[in-house]
Each structure stands twice: as structure tokens, then as C-alpha cells.
């Protein structure tokens, strides 16, 4: 049983299409413009489990151990505590770095996190298992996720009016996208009966609501948003949030899942953000353990074209063509469209693992939170090698 994320209906990039899943109309000779989306994240925790509930990961509250305590007890510093406001701000920065890079500067994200106090969170009057509904059908679980979304933003809206204005006041109308950062891990990371099953954990995903949440004194609607846990590490596996956050935000931009959403089997593989996304590739970052999810890979050719990041060039005649690497920042030929019928076509791209050929790509971690911010070169400058973890030669 698995949760299938919805897809945003907002068209935040303002693209024109003939049909919902056709490529956009690319304006001719239009200058490259940056679309900036404002993202609101709210930190939500649950009623504390005074006696630990084995059906959930954690105790309902955010992990606020110091980094030293986390390192001593967990043996690594991947997405370490304290999971405070700064921690989630840095994850929003990492998300911006990714989408800014793969869009070639066409998309920027500006994120804010509330409550603005580092240690405070919105606390719901229910334990996590109330929303996780571990003994229920998938339809009930999804309905409880919607209830969780409603309860979280209703609480944030209430405290925005009645709480300390320096900490809680939010003008929701300033934002385009909405994220709930919640305490605990997620159900997709749970290995089930293999290791310490936690069926009361919540799904990570993107959801659209049948029943709108009205905020700002009933004047502004919230109709969709993301659920992101404070950590994906559990069951003796260490996983960073970066890859899954980028994938779920793809739904916010209008991208569909490219795996088989009926049986959750891969279709495109590691080469696509919206399929396997190199999630099963573990890297040793110096703690003697293999860590997954540290780098989301580039969106595949269709996804980048669908979002208007790159315009494919249609080829109908034979000849030799130089196809520049996807990861390069240029305006040369990077995507070829070959029609095979009136309704079908092939898209060809050139993916490269090691763009600069130096056989190296490192990771920059934030100096305060240790959140991974993106790939870097030998001199610790950001580079464009999000495809470093692709299999084979790319």
C-alpha cells in the first residue's frame, strides 16, 4: 500500500499549453526571465508521547538534541538536530539551489519558516498516530493527511491573529507554495516488519484538498501543499531530505510521477527526478556509513521541457549533430525532438556524471546546521553536478 502524490493545479510558472500534458508554447526571441516563487514552511509537532508509541518514529516532538549529542548517539551528521527554524530554512535554501541550477536560472525560490523563533513549533492536541491511522485503509490515511493539513494551517492562522505577532504573524497571501515540516520520519522510509515497524508515521508527499483551508480572516485560500518530515533516517538507514524534497516540489510545479503509480515500479530509473531519483545510491560522506538522498538528480528531458526550462529542437533530417550536456549552462543545442508519429516523439539528451572531467564532486554542508546545500568543486565552489550519482557513464 503506498501514497500517490497529487499534482498542482496552479500553473505557478504561467505556461501556455494546448493540452494539460503537451509541451508549453515557447515564446520566440523572448529574454530569459526568472520566476520567483515564495515558499512558506510551518513547523508542526504533535502531542508528546510520554510513553513511547512504537507505531511511530520519535516522540511526537521535534528532535532538539545538540549536534554533539546527535553525533555521539547517531554516529553521523546527516540532517542532524536541533531541527529548529534555521535547519528548515537551510533545507529551503538547498531546494532553491537545486531548482535554480536545473532551470538555468529561470526559477528561484524564496523561503520563510514559522514560527520564527528557533525553538518554537505549532503543537497539535493529538499524537502523531492519530493522523497516521496505522490500522486503516489507504483512503482513510489520505483523509487523515488532509485533516492534518487543515488542523496545521488552521492553528497557524489562529496564532497569527491571537499569538505574539513578532513570532507568529503570517500574511499567507504573500506566498505561492505551502509546506508542513513535521516531527518524526515518514512512512515511505519505514521498512515495515523487517525492522521496528512504524505504521503510524505519515506519508511524505504533495496533496490537493477537496475542502479549502481559509486563512487571513477567511480571505485567502490554501488548496494544496507538501508534507516533509524532519528526517528520513530510520531502521538503521541514513537518508537526507534533499532528494525527496526536490521530487515532491516537482509536483508543486506540475510534474507527474514517472514511475508506475499503480505498483510503484520504476519506469525511467535513476535518470529522472520524478522516478527513482538515484534514491538507492549510497555515498560515503566520511562517517563509515552509506547515505542516500543527498543529491536529487536532474529532471529528465521531458520534465525540463514540460516546465519550459529548455526548448527542444525538432530534427527531421539526417546529419551529424553536436548535443551539449544537459548540465552545462549555455544556450546551445541540449535537447532534440524527433517526431515518430503525429502524437509521439523521442527526446534526446546528453547526461554527464562528471561535467568538468576532474573526477571529483564534493558536497557543501551548511556551517551551522550541517544541511547539505549542493555539489561543489575542489575549491568548494558550487557546481552543476547534481548528476554525479547517476549510474554508469551517464
When divided into structural domains, the chain yields a total of 1
Task: Tell me the H-state helices in 207-341.
Answer: 242-253, 301-306
Q: Give per-residue pLDDT as tens, 138-156.
A: 889 899 999 999 999 999 9
Rounded distance between C-alpha atoms, residue 288 and residue 75, angstroms: 9
Mean pLDDT within 22-33: 78
Asked if residues 250 and 299 have their Cβ atoms less than 8 Å apart, the reply is yes
Q: Is the pLDDT of residue 394 over 50?
A: no
Residue 240's closest CA among 6, 26, 104, 77? Answer: 77
Per-residue pLDDT at 3: 65
- Provide the CA 31 distance to its chain's centre, in angstroms: 29
Tell whether 357 is covered by a domain.
no
Arithmetic mean of pLDDT over the chain = 91
Tell whether 229 is covered by a domain.
yes
Rounded distance between C-alpha atoms, residue 235 and residue 65, angstroms: 19
Per-residue pLDDT at 1: 47
Degrees, nearest 5: CA angle 208-210-215: 80
Rounded distance between C-alpha atoms, residue 324 and residue 332, angstroms: 7
Q: Count of H helices and E strands in the chain?
A: 7, 14
Per-residue pLDDT at 195: 62
Q: Give per-residue pLDDT as tens, 329-360.
A: 877 899 999 999 988 999 999 998 888 888 88
Residues 6+ apart with CB under 8 A from 391: 269, 270, 278, 281
Cell matching residue 271: 535518470
Tell whether 43 is covered by a domain.
yes
Rounded distance between C-alpha atoms, residue 340 and residue 180, angstroms: 43
Rounded distance between C-alpha atoms, residue 74 and residue 81, angstroms: 10
Backbone angles phi, psi at 162, to 5 degrees: -105, -10
Q: Give per-residue pLDDT as tens, 83-121.
A: 999 999 999 999 999 999 999 999 999 999 999 999 999
Residue 47's closest CA among 38, 56, 37? Answer: 56
Residue 59's closest CA among 186, 151, 181, 184? Answer: 184
Domain residues for the domain of 260 are 35-310
Tell whether 384 is covered by a domain.
no
Q: Tell me the β-bridge partners of 374.
A: 364
Strand stretches in 233-381, DSSP E: 238-239, 283-284, 290-292, 313-314, 336-339, 345-348, 362-365, 372-376
Tell whether 11 is covered by a domain.
no
Tell whether 14 is covered by a domain.
no
Asked if residues 79 and 7 have their Cβ atoms less than 8 Å apart, the reply is no
Rounded distance between C-alpha atoms, residue 69 and residue 52, angstroms: 20
Q: Is the pLDDT of residue 281 over 90?
A: no
Tell whether 330 is covered by a domain.
no
Residues 6+ apart with CB under 8 A from 258: 267, 268, 272, 274, 275, 300, 303
The kind and range of the H/E element at 86 are: helix 85-102
Burial class (CB in 10 A: 0-12, 13-18, 19+), 68: exposed
Cell matching residue 4: 500517490
Q: Give per-residue pLDDT as tens, 64-89.
A: 999 999 999 999 999 999 999 999 99
Tell whether 139 is covered by a domain.
yes
Q: Is the pLDDT of residue 262 over 80?
A: no
Tell me the pLDDT band of 392, cut-offs 50, 70 and 90: low
β-pairing verdict for 313-314 and 336-339: parallel
Amino acid at each position: 500500500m503506498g501514497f500517490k502524490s497529487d499534482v498542482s493545479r496552479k500553473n505557478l510558472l504561467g505556461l501556455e499549453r494546448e493540452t494539460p500534458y503537451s509541451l508549453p508554447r515557447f515564446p520566440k526571441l523572448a529574454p530569459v526571465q526568472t520566476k520567483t516563487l515564495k515558499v512558506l514552511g510551518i513547523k508542526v509537532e504533535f502531542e508528546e508521547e510520554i510513553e513511547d508509541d512504537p507505531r511511530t518514529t520519535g516522540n511526537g516532538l521535534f528532535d532538539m538534541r545538540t549536534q554533539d549529542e546527535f553525533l555521539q548517539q547517531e554516529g553521523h551528521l546527516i540532517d542532524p538536530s536541533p531541527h529548529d527554524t534555521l535547519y528548515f530554512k537551510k533545507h529551503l535554501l538547498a531546494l532553491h539551489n537545486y531548482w535554480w541550477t536545473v532551470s538555468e536560472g529561470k526559477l528561484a525560490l524564496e523561503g520563510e519558516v514559522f514560527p520564527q523563533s528557533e525553538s518554537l513549533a505549532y503543537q497539535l492536541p493529538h499524537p502523531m498516530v492519530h493522523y497516521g491511522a496505522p490500522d486503516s485503509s489507504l483512503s482513510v490515511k489520505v483523509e487523515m493527511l488532509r485533516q492534518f493539513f487543515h488542523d496545521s494551517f488552521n492553528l497557524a492562522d489562529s496564532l497569527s491573529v491571537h499569538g505574539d505577532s513578532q513570532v507568529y504573524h503570517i500574511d499567507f497571501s504573500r506566498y505561492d507554495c505551502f509546506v508542513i515540516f513535521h516531527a518524526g520520519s515518514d512512512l515511505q522510509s519505514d521498512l515495515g516488519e523487517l525492522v521496528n515497524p512504524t505504521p503510524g508515521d505519515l506519508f511524505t508527499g504533495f496533496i490537493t484538498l477537496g475542502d479549502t483551508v481559509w486563512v487571513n480572516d477567511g480571505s485567502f485560500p490554501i488548496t494544496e501543499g507538501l508534507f516533509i518530515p524532519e528526517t528520513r533516517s530510520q531502521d538503521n538507514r541514513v537518508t537526507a531530505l534533499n532528494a525527496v524534497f526536490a521530487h515532491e516540489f516537482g509536483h508543486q510545479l506540475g510534474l507527474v510521477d514517472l514511475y508506475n503509480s499503480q505498483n510503484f515500479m520504476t519506469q525511467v530509473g535513476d535518470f529522472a527526478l520524478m522516478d527513482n531519483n538515484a534514491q538507492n545510491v549510497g555515498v560515503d560522506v566520511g562517517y563509515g556509513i552509506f547515505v542516500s538522498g543527498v543529491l536529487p538528480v536532474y529532471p529528465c528531458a521531458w520534465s525540463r521541457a514540460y516546465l519550459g526550462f529548455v526548448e527542444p529542437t525538432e530534427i527531421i533530417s539526417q546529419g551529424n549533430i553536436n548535443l551539449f550536456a544537459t548540465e552545462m549552462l549555455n544556450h546551445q543545442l541540449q535537447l532534440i525532438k524527433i517526431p515518430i508519429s503525429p502524437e509521439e516523439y523521442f527526446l534526446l539528451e546528453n547526461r554527464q556524471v562528471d561535467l568538468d572531467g576532474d573526477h571529483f564532486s564534493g558536497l557543501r554542508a551548511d556551517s551551522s546546521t550541517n544541511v547539505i546545500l549542493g555539489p561543489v568543486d575542489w575549491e568548494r565552489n558550487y557546481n552543476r553536478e547534481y548528476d554525479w550519482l547517476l549510474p554508469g557513464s551517464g
